[in-house]
Every structure is written in C-alpha cells, then in structure tokens.
C-alpha cells in the first residue's frame, strides 16, 4: 500500500479505518485498545492541524509535533490493521474495509497459444526477390 503524504488523505484513511472498526465491533473486541489509540491520534492530529492553520508564527514547532503524531499514528494504524487481520483471518473479505487485501485463491492458468504465422504465398515471394527496374 502506498504511503499517503497528503494530510487530508491520511485523515480520511484513518476515519475510514475507524468506521470499519465500528462496523465490525463485535468481531474486533480484542483490537479495542489499538482502536482507541488510533482514535486519540486522529483527534490530536486534527487539533494540531487546526492550531497550525491558525498560528503562522509557531508553524515550525507545530509542524514538528504534527509530524511526530502522524508518525505514531501510522504505526498505530498498522497495528490496528494487523490486529484486524489476525482476528478476522487472512482470507476474510471484510479486510477490504481496513485497506488490506485478503488472500484469495488464484484462478486457473491460461494456456499460451503460439503466435500464428502465415506461410508466404508464391506470388509474394517472387515479387520480393525480383529487383525493381528503373529507366
């Protein structure tokens, strides 16, 4: 999975994963501590982003704090995804809600057909071999 560098995309991804946790709450009771961590990281990141937008003077300091929260949040999301994967199973289709590809059976192999080559016709072979005459 590609890394989201856009803050808006990252927050949207975190919200989607938290929504997936809410939809699958009965099955993910063991992952509740990780969900709470991600929820806290989301709240903190949104608050810091609001601060960053309102205070131009302290932008660098807030950006450093925001970078740290994003880094920790990504790790928390990875742990939550791993917990969901271990609880639901690696082949469960509900993993799609967590941005995880479930393990699926591969389809049957398709037999390769050799490329069809046409034998040259007699007329074409003679014209290709005869040199052009110019006057």
pLDDT in tens, 37-95: 999 999 999 999 888 887 766 777 888 899 999 999 999 999 999 999 888 898 888 88
Q: Which DSSP string do the residues of 65-91 spell out, in sequence order?
A: HHHHHHHHHHHHHHHHHHHHHHHH-TT
pLDDT in tens, 82-118: 999 888 898 888 888 888 898 888 888 887 777 777 7
- Give the start-to-end residue ranges of the domains of the chain: 7-98
Give CA–CA dist 16/13, Å, rounded: 5
Its pTM surpasses 0.75: no
């Amino acid at each position: 999975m590609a890394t989201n560098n856009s803050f808006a995309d990252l927050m949207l991804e975190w919200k989607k994963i938290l929504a997936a946790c809410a939809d699958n709450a009965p099955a993910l009771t063991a992952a509740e501590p990780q969900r709470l961590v991600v929820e806290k990281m989301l709240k903190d990141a949104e608050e810091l982003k609001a601060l960053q937008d309102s205070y131009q003077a302290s932008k660098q300091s807030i950006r450093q704090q925001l970078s740290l929260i994003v880094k920790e949040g990504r790790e928390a999301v990875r742990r939550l995804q791993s917990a969901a994967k271990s609880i639901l199973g690696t082949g469960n289709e509900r993993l799609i809600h967590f941005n995880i590809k479930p393990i699926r059976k591969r389809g049957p192999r398709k037999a390769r057909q050799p490329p069809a080559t046409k034998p040259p016709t007699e007329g074409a072979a003679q014209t290709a071999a005869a040199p052009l005459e110019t006057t």
